[in-house]
Amino acid sequence: MAPRHGSLHPATVWVPAFAGMTLLIAVGLIALAPAAPACAAEIKIGSKAFTESVVLGEIAAQLARGAGAEASHRRGLGGTRVVWQALVRGDIDAYVEYTGTIAQEIFPERKFPDEQAMRAALAERGIVMGHPLGFNNTYALGMSAAAAGRHAIRTMSDLRAHPTLRLGFSNEFMERADGWPGLKARYGLPQTDVRGLDHDLAYRGLAAGDLDATDVYTTDAEIPHYGLVVLKDDLHYFPDYHAALLYRAELSGTAPDVAMAWQRLAGRIDEASMAQMNAAAKLDGKPESDVAAAFVHARFGITAARETDSRARRILQRTLEHLTLVIISLAAAIIVALPLGILAARRPVLGQAVLAATGIVQTIPSLALLVFMIPLLGIGGRPAIVALFLYSLLPIVRNTYAGLNDIPPSLRESAEALGLTPFARLRLIELPMAARSILAGIKTAAVINVGTATLGALIGAGGYGQPILTGIRRDDIGMILEGAIPAAILALAVQGAFELAERFLVARGLRLKRA
């Protein structure tokens, strides 16, 4: 028998109760999150997702602290476009870039006759380029000594005679203006077995014999470590890549001491020193902050303060960041997706359009969606939350739609015969009957969010993805597990929590029916 009009069965209010609880938790997490230092001279330094960039970012951050400023370092933000856009938007104040990348990737439509023209183009965007740091870290192709000797390959032109070679390049190199497409055209290379992968993993592929050649940076510590042969760029395809610090022009007025401290870096890092720092971080496993501190102390006599968190504290911080991303995005998705699911069930034609739209969003690769958000929302937690919110819509909309459509027509007719209004039917009959299906959709969205949120680290959102990406870059299994294991535990905990919640939020008769 249908519940009496106006009765308050617990299952009839589970949706708003759950959404309200989630929002309260999210607000609490935000309140507990450490606040940014309230300092006019706070400096935000960024770095790309490779070791050398992180080390140089740490050096810039420690010099800024030595000049009396509060400085934070957002490390491993992804590729050139991500970090460059963050600088232009003001999400970060500085990062180290390379002149060849500026010319070929950031301003591909311009031809710079000299460094002054490059500085002028950057100034138009409100960016200052410091004097080169002292080393040229150009691109090259590297092969294992055994493979190079077997095929008698010493130059890039020699590759033309070996079309079956297996090439593996960093994902950015695969698409860059100065990367594989242009290199292939310049040398007329015939290879077709070419794949994109993480730069650090490519070295392991070479060592294992799974790849024959990969792109390298000439200051990479792995070149001597693996005994690689660097192929001669005999057609002079790659330009010079002199490292230089880019920073926002207003820092010269708001933080002049920091700008002056960074100017002291000009010409102070040669290729041998940079290669040694890369080796200390990549091969010896030293934290980039320690490597940078040793350099800053040796060259400038500065002993900068560094954070030395314990593993437990790091995991706690990453858990807080990860939960914030997941809970806020899931709460927003529940509030939006439930009405959409109800609308889809009540209006079949419109419902198909709603399901199609949310389905299309689900097919967009998560990393691409995160990058799409950067021009609109910058880097950090906001674009990650919006992306996770969009990914959460489909499971909840689809399960709400399916749960309401699966209600037997006889029950609907009985409710109408009792004279219940449409809203009363929805609240007292339809939502409780569809509760199990709706809860399953929310559970699916929550578990997906826990996994997908790890990618947020690529745009500075933190979470469990930060130690995973750091571990991949350092080839540190322990660091990878520091993020992977808590993420897996959290996913299992979320699933268990929803199983437990079903006992309280789904009517006992519906649970017995499933059993």
Dump pLDDT digits (tens) for 118-137: 999 999 999 999 999 999 99
* 387 closest CA partner among 324, 339, 453: 453
246 pairs with which residues across the strands? Answer: 95, 129
Tens digits of residue pLDDT in 21-40: 444 444 443 444 444 433 44
Confidence of residue 2 (pLDDT cuts 50, 70, 90): very low
- Rounded CA-CA distance 92/88 in Å is 8
How many CA atoms within 13 Å lie on the side-chain side of 479? 16
Please give the C-alpha separations between residue 270 and each of 115, 133, 140, 141, 167, in angstroms, as whole numbers.
19, 8, 18, 21, 30
Output b/e per residue, 143-180; b: 16+ Cβ within 10 A: bbeebbeebebeebbbbeebeebbbbbbbbbbebebbb
438 pairs with which residues across the strands? Answer: none
pLDDT of residue 307: 57
Tens digits of residue pLDDT in 173-217: 898 878 899 999 999 999 999 999 888 788 888 888 889 999 998
Residue 71 pLDDT greater than 80, yes or no: yes
CATH 3.40.190.10 maps onto the chain at: 43-136+241-300
CATH 3.40.190.120 maps onto the chain at: 139-230
pLDDT of residue 109: 86
Strands 139-144 and 71-74: unpaired
Quote the radius of gyration of the chain (alpha carbons, Å): 28
What architecture does CATH give domain 43-136+241-300? 3-Layer(aba) Sandwich (3.40)
Strands 127-129 and 228-230: unpaired
Would you say 292 and 59 are in contact if contact means Cβ atoms under 8 Å apart?
yes
pLDDT of residue 282: 86
Please give the C-alpha separations between residue 492 and each of 451, 475, 489, 495, in angstroms, as whole numbers.
11, 27, 5, 5
- Rounded CA-CA distance 56/291 in Å is 10
- Rounded CA-CA distance 139/146 in Å is 21
Give, in words, the CATH class of 139-230. alpha beta
Lowest mean pLDDT among 152-156, 311-315, 358-362, 408-412: 408-412
Tens digits of residue pLDDT in 279-309: 999 888 888 999 999 999 999 888 866 556 6
CATH 1.10.3720.10 maps onto the chain at: 10-32+310-514
Tens digits of residue pLDDT in 72-106: 999 888 788 889 999 999 999 999 999 999 998 89
Confidence of residue 151 (pLDDT cuts 50, 70, 90): very high
What type of residue sits at position 360?
Answer: I
Please give the C-alpha separations between residue 236 and each of 99, 151, 184, in angstroms, as whole numbers.
16, 22, 13
Give, in words, the CATH class of 10-32+310-514. mainly alpha
- Rounded CA-CA distance 281/289 in Å is 9
